[in-house]
Chain A
């Protein structure tokens, strides 16, 4: 296959599909994972509202979900994907397994970010009569914001990697192109180009994420 306009269009579409999957999966991943992470941080023994049983249950659920290999998850959730999206292939359908894979991983990162917040500051807020809600929103999330932004960056990168894997089952995007052309048709050139684009994407995400984290961090002089 020669390099032509069609080829370029395919790659541009692939990039668009990849970004579409990654952005929405991360978004939905946070919609599920952020509250879950907050719940984990708050209900743990040293949290602001320890609930032993709740923590144990959530802890186990998150561990189970995280230990299912993504490729297997991809296939396991096909019925759910069909139910939600109407089909089991293509970029939109891939958002479902990506979100399910991302949420528990995001929850863990959120949990660990929130647990880094100095206990003294939480105590100060309690001494002022702050409710747990206020402490979660203004102290935990506010103080952990740098770490949370770093977490988003890591999540985007990881989900990007997963999205490429979804190409195996016709998931769309750059991973799909790399597998269809590079692997099934032995077109090494196409494969290399897609991989290079993926690498660049990760680099850009990483640089931007870290920049944002640094810009919003007031803890250093």
Chain B
């Protein structure tokens, strides 16, 4: 059995104006240590999908199985404990704006019940890993977007996750900063063997770091496979559209050869 198994996931949002099917029969599996990409246009259901993995959204149907355990069977308390092993980074970083960089990195350790002194010491080592130890006393408002995402990554490392969910983590960053964040993520993946799920609408993100990719359209996975294969020979219209739109807009390809 794979490390992460997503089985027949469905998510329907109910509202007065009618139901919206955000996810329809989504299934895939991810091996330990893999970087798995989910690409799609906005509104395809990517963010809902990633939120169903740590149950920030509760799926309407289907199963999420991580390391053999069914996420939906967990009690509230068990779920909170499980979430500590599943880190998440976001498009808009979601740092605590009223806390210093150091205290942001301490936050997950506070939640885990670690003492303040110990947490601060460890936080400094995580900040070193993201090359931001000189900003420990700064506040998020004083940092650039790339630096904020590095703080968010240090914060995630502080909970020693086995899995990292990246929700459009580079979408608010310029191409150069995107590069450095992607390199950092790749490095983390190799160094700590953290399994990653990367949600993005940017082809180049997938190309650079994902081992495998799934193309999501209107809540369905329409195509999936090894990144190279999907890129070299996209089978579906949706995949072609994503790949070729990218080419037409002429965003820096960095020798990707498509």
Contact = CB atoms under 8 A, between A and B. Distances in A.
Interface of A: 118, 120-121, 123-131, 134, 138-139, 142-143, 145-146, 216-221
Given A126-B56, A127-B88, A129-B84, A138 B107 contact: yes
A86 B112 CA distance: 49
Closest 10 A-B residue pairs measured CB to CB? A124-B94, A129-B83, A127-B88, A120-B94, A129-B80, A129-B84, A218-B139, A128-B108, A219-B97, A121-B94
Name the residue among B81, B88, B111, B165 with the largest chain A CB count within 10 angstroms.
Answer: B111
A149 B252 CA distance: 48
Name B's interface SS: mixed
Contact of B141 (A125, A142, A220): A220
Contact of B87 (A127, A139, A142, A146): A127
B86 A142 contact: no
A120 B168 CA distance: 13
A120 B92 contact: yes
B162 interface: no
Contacts of A219: 97-98, 139, 141
B80 A145 contact: no
B54 A127 contact: yes
A4 to B, nearest CB: 52
B82 interface: yes
A200 B54 CA distance: 54
Given A142-B98, A218-B141, A130 B92 contact: no
B55 to A, nearest CB: 9
Contact of B99 (A131, A142, A217): A142
Contacts of A139: 96
Interface string B69-101: 000000000011111101110101011111110
Contacts of A131: 80, 111
B111 A221 contact: no
A128 B107 contact: yes
A171 to B, nearest CB: 38
A133 B107 CA distance: 14
A221 B82 contact: no
Contact of B98 (A123, A124, A145): A145
Contacts of A145: 98
Contacts of A216: 98
Contact of A130 (B82, B94, B111): B111
A123 B96 contact: no
B202 interface: no
A139 B95 CA distance: 10
A221 B148 CA distance: 14
B224 interface: no
A127 B80 CA distance: 8
Nearest to B111: A130
B83 A128 contact: yes
Contacts of B90: 120, 123-124
